[in-house]
Structure 1
């Protein structure tokens, strides 16, 4: 026991050292920017906005993990987001109002479905070119980056489309997209219960199939950390108070009396954050529990062996790109709703942030390795860098330089890590 080092203990509890490194890096970034900004970074308001701003990138990063795991890349996601967002704006402002008028209850649902379907079709088209015509993914998606950015301008000749439907806007966060303190605590408690039950079920399943078990203390610590993060997130979201005027109108609308000293009402969790979390859970389940996910990682590990094993590698790759496109559709709705407008410049450079989030999160560009949770944490790291630099007044060109350097360093560190394991 005395001969074991820290790395041995981490392997014993099956914890990825890179995840610890990301958490440590995130802590350093947060504390550093908080000091440089005079305490303005680690405030409920800034952290709430940080999570909302990370939602769109997090959703796309989930799909990018699967794309990179198959030894491919998608450089077109930012341009696709701009194009799909413009189509969504056109549907809400020009097409559907002619059919059933403005502010129809079904407008936001049709818009969301149309965005997911359009993104999925574009993804399948690009995936088919890669899988069936054997065109390198770099070339196909680089072409897509140019094509869809041009198409985003062509849809409305560059005109901004606004405003969005009032039932659609909550997808972007803001005051309309906050679910309130009571609902936030209810969701937080449900998530904590799921974490606890999931830990017990997973341990029993491993014992039943004869797999090695983590020490009991490790399972307890991991479950406690997960619940602690959930509770802390809810507390921060609830600590961000609504503006006094809006809080008063909400109080009076409920038939309550506004007290003389005022009343503090918290925002609660944001809808786009919950949507990103739901996407992360769904893609994690797909990647780790379903046959499709096993095929994806098998292709990334050894494409030839996967094909000889009977896996239809072309179909899987095409479906991965279709899924990537559908997730871009969801992100387009989040981004468009947050701006309350559709612009042809939406999503510019998002491909850089999405790829960086996946790589920082532990997805190997060599394929076969990647986690959804790591990519979502990587998205938070990238958004923290950008938000922190904006907060302390760093110019946009310098922000891009920093992001580019972070991506290069992340790939370099990934190479060192794989060499060490090899």
Structure 2
């Protein structure tokens, strides 16, 4: 009993020696790298808003930014697992173009001309999306098999895939663009009809806040159950409040962006609604691709944190030899990671092609750079064994913010690529410095 008392006293003494910031970080258990990335994001947004003459932090631009981020964020969640395993996937952009072209040709040509489907038939988008996901799964399995069982380095396999699948995307239609796509399929790209409106958006916000409260309470009860140290109540309330404020703020921004005047007029005429003198305000609300990205993020977070497969991935990335000696089937786990990557690429391809209402040979060009940069900026270590899904998604938002801001500033595309490449190099350098100090 005296030993326990002395240990507690010693812990309190060490805490008293810490500064206010250190005590705050210890109480809230916040990741310094995550805070640094959020700080960088706020700084970038502030600077871009000032340089763009107040155009960046507007509901319209932020809503478009969320839609543009969705496809990259989805692929970044898969890239986390790939990099945690000490591998890399350079083929995701080319895979996105090929899978997008397959889905486009399937719904715009094959299902209609060969199988006699009529335009607007509800099964078209289901079949197209299902075949796209299956194609991505097969490609990912092929990459994973060659890497895991034939022991060819992932860099070489996916570099070959970058060339092969980009060429295959061109080969499907000899470089021709396939358009238009199925009307229901287009909803996955966002737009006025591809959003859920103000009412449902607030419902999602309330559900998200309730989910945050549940996770906080459940996490605290689990800590009590296994006798782990508890965060102070004020820290729990603060973290939950900040998370809920972020959710409500994001929904408020989405609901502040109205439909364009022309679309509102056609909508009112079709339904016999009289447009008032000041105009009719119809909010976009949360875009469907954003909901898809959030859903993928939740699922991937659960997979990495709550499943045996996720623990295996991090164990292999931390020490492959020890994981193999512990009885983990490292080859099968590696193959499954690349299969998951292929499925996520297919979902991103559906979002990107739906947003363009076309399947093009150039779809996904250089997306591999954005995806890898998003994962690394989000805290995924190229040395393996460390990474978070939420960090990668925030990294995708940061990268897309840079691109969106540069477009608003009228910066040429080559210079945009220079900036993105420089950010990737700096992110890897910072990761190296951080690992040396930990």
Q: For residue 114 of structure 1, report the CA deviation from its aligned partner.
A: 1.0
Contact 1:78/1:348 (<8 A) preserved: yes
Segments of structure 2 that go 5 or more residues without pairing to the other structure are 1-14
1:306-348 per-position Cα deviation (integer Å, ceiling 9, x unaligned):
1111100000000000000000000000000000000011100
In 1, the alpha carbon distance for the partners of 2:229 and 2:133 equals: 41
In 1, the alpha carbon distance for the partners of 2:119 and 2:93 equals: 29
* Map of 1:223 onto structure 2: 240
Q: 2:26 aligns with which of 11, 15, 37?
A: 11
* Map of 2:413 onto structure 1: 396
1:187-218 per-position Cα deviation (integer Å, ceiling 9, x unaligned):
11111111111111111011111111111111
In 2, the alpha carbon distance for the partners of 1:3 and 1:288 equals: 33
* Map of 2:6 onto structure 1: none
In 1, the alpha carbon distance for the partners of 2:26 and 2:321 equals: 30
Count of residue correspondences: 421
Contact 1:63/1:327 (<8 A) preserved: yes
1:211-251 per-position Cα deviation (integer Å, ceiling 9, x unaligned):
11111111111111111111011110010011123223334
Question: Residues 251 and 203 of structure 1: is their aligned pair in 2 closer, same or farther, counting only changes over 3 Å?
Answer: farther
* Map of 1:21 onto structure 2: 36
* Map of 1:249 onto structure 2: 266
* Map of 1:129 onto structure 2: 146
- 1:236 matches 2:253: yes
Contact 1:65/1:370 (<8 A) preserved: yes
Q: For residue 254 of structure 1, report the CA deviation from its aligned partner.
A: 4.8
In 2, the alpha carbon distance for the partners of 1:368 and 1:362 equals: 11
In 1, the alpha carbon distance for the partners of 2:320 and 2:29 equals: 27
In 2, the alpha carbon distance for the partners of 1:159 and 1:103 equals: 23
In 2, the alpha carbon distance for the partners of 1:8 and 1:2 equals: 8
* Map of 1:37 onto structure 2: 52
3-state DSSP of counterpart to 2:182: coil
In 2, the alpha carbon distance for the partners of 1:386 and 1:260 equals: 38
Work out which of the two has the higher radius of gyration on C-alpha atoms and give 1 or 2.
Answer: 2
In 2, the alpha carbon distance for the partners of 1:260 and 1:415 equals: 60
Q: For residue 161 of structure 1, report the CA deviation from its aligned partner.
A: 0.2
Q: For residue 252 of structure 1, report the CA deviation from its aligned partner.
A: 4.9
In 2, the alpha carbon distance for the partners of 1:93 and 1:249 equals: 26
CA RMSD of aligned residues (A): 1.1
Q: For residue 253 of structure 1, report the CA deviation from its aligned partner.
A: 4.5
* Map of 1:197 onto structure 2: 214
* Map of 2:163 onto structure 1: 146
* Map of 2:310 onto structure 1: 293
Tell me which moved more, 321-330 or 111-120. 111-120
Counterparts in 2 of 1:297-336, with a 5 A limit? 297-336=314-353
1:112-133 per-position Cα deviation (integer Å, ceiling 9, x unaligned):
1111111011001000000001
- 1:361 matches 2:378: yes
Contact 1:96/1:102 (<8 A) preserved: no
In 2, the alpha carbon distance for the partners of 1:374 and 1:180 equals: 28
Q: For residue 398 of structure 1, report the CA deviation from its aligned partner.
A: 0.8
Question: Residues 220 and 253 of structure 1: is their aligned pair in 2 closer, same or farther, counting only changes over 3 Å?
Answer: farther
In 1, the alpha carbon distance for the partners of 2:41 and 2:145 equals: 38
1:148-207 per-position Cα deviation (integer Å, ceiling 9, x unaligned):
000000000000000010000010111221111111111111111111111111110111
Contact 2:27/2:235 (<8 A) preserved: no
Counterparts in 2 of 1:49-64, with a 5 A limit? 49-64=64-79
Contact 1:363/1:369 (<8 A) preserved: yes
Normalised to the residue count of structure 1, the TM-score between the two structures is: 0.98
Tell me which moved more, 70-79 or 262-271. 262-271
Segments of structure 1 that go 5 or more residues without pairing to the other structure are none
Normalised to the residue count of structure 2, the TM-score between the two structures is: 0.94
* Map of 1:107 onto structure 2: 124
1:376-402 per-position Cα deviation (integer Å, ceiling 9, x unaligned):
000000000000001001111111111
- 1:414 matches 2:431: yes
Q: For residue 255 of structure 1, report the CA deviation from its aligned partner.
A: 5.1
Tell me which moved more, 184-193 or 7-16. 7-16
3-state DSSP of counterpart to 2:399: helix
Contact 2:84/2:387 (<8 A) preserved: yes
In 2, the alpha carbon distance for the partners of 1:416 and 1:254 equals: 61
- 1:370 matches 2:387: yes
